Amino acid sequence: MAYTAGRTGAPILDDALAFVDCETIDEHYAGDHIIVVGRVIELGYASEGRPLLFYRGGYGRFDV
């Protein structure tokens, strides 16, 4: 899968509809989860495309 490196070095997938590249600021432990707080360094989105959604245990597309 093709990608480019974001400003933090994280991979940004070439075909992604949107991305948020963040720097981790803090972590909060909540049971069996970790809540990560981040500072947005870079973000972007595609002007066209159809998102892939996960709803009620399955994947689908959103049509307008």
pLDDT of the residue at 1: 83
CA angle 30, 51, 33 (to 5 degrees): 10
pLDDT of the residue at 52: 80
pLDDT of the residue at 59: 87
pLDDT of the residue at 60: 83
Host H or E run for residue 49: none
pLDDT of the residue at 56: 86
Chunk the chain into consecutive blocks of 10 residues (it has 64) and report each block's average pLDDT, rounded to whole numbers. Answer: 94 94 97 97 91 85 67
Q: How far apart are CA 41 and CA 37, in angstroms?
A: 13
